[in-house]
Homo-oligomer: A and B are copies of this chain.
């Protein structure tokens, strides 16, 4: 019984994996909004009904992929809090580079999702995840906040949207700069020491 259960679990996992890969590959060639479940099933080598055994819509698949990405972003941003407090403005905390590296693992896919023909839902969710993570740990990011009051929600929306804007630029730019260089640029923009 346990044996049968695990074989079936494995089959489910593989089908879901094929469906996710199909979405990824189709996204490279057409706007996400125009991809049909029929096309996904065909590309994944399964029936349309099989798709609906596992997901209610293509948005649910994207949501699942997003969920994992968001967990990873949360892990990256929380792993480096101590850096944020200890380092001096001249040093760049690795968090910023790592954020670019996460998306750098699949540039063609993310370029599409964040681009003009991508998914607004996807972009909004990533901005929101960064914003929420920032707000939960606001004290660690205090050196990025202005001296005068700005509501936390607004400050973290500003910083998160700015990062995602730079990320979209990078994904479109054919690797002109490394993730590390982008981390440096992000840091300089975030911390902005100006001539006084």
Binding site for B on A (CB under 8 A): 33, 115-121, 123-125, 127, 143-151, 153-155, 157-162, 164-166, 168-169, 182, 185-186, 188-189, 191-195
Nearest Cβ in chain B — how far from A105, in angstroms?
21
| A interface, over-half SS | helix
A165-B157, A185-B154, A188-B150 in contact; A120/B116 too (CB < 8 A)? yes
Q: Which residues of B sit under 8 angstroms from A186, Cβ to Cβ? A: 158
Tell me the minimal C-beta distance from A11 to chain B in angstroms.
34
Contacts of A185 in B (CB 8 A): 150-151, 154-155
Given A119-B120, A143-B194, A146-B188; 13 other pairs, CB 8 A cutoff: A115-B120, A120-B123, A146-B192, A150-B185, A154-B182, A154-B185, A157-B165, A158-B165, A159-B189, A161-B161, A161-B162, A161-B165, A161-B168
Chain B residues near A127: list those with CB within 8 A.
Answer: 165
A-B contact pairs, 5 of them (CB 8 A): A124-B168, A146-B188, A150-B185, A154-B169, A157-B165
Q: Which residues of B contact A161 (CB under 8 A)?
A: 161-162, 164-166, 168
Least CB separation from A189: chain B residue: B158
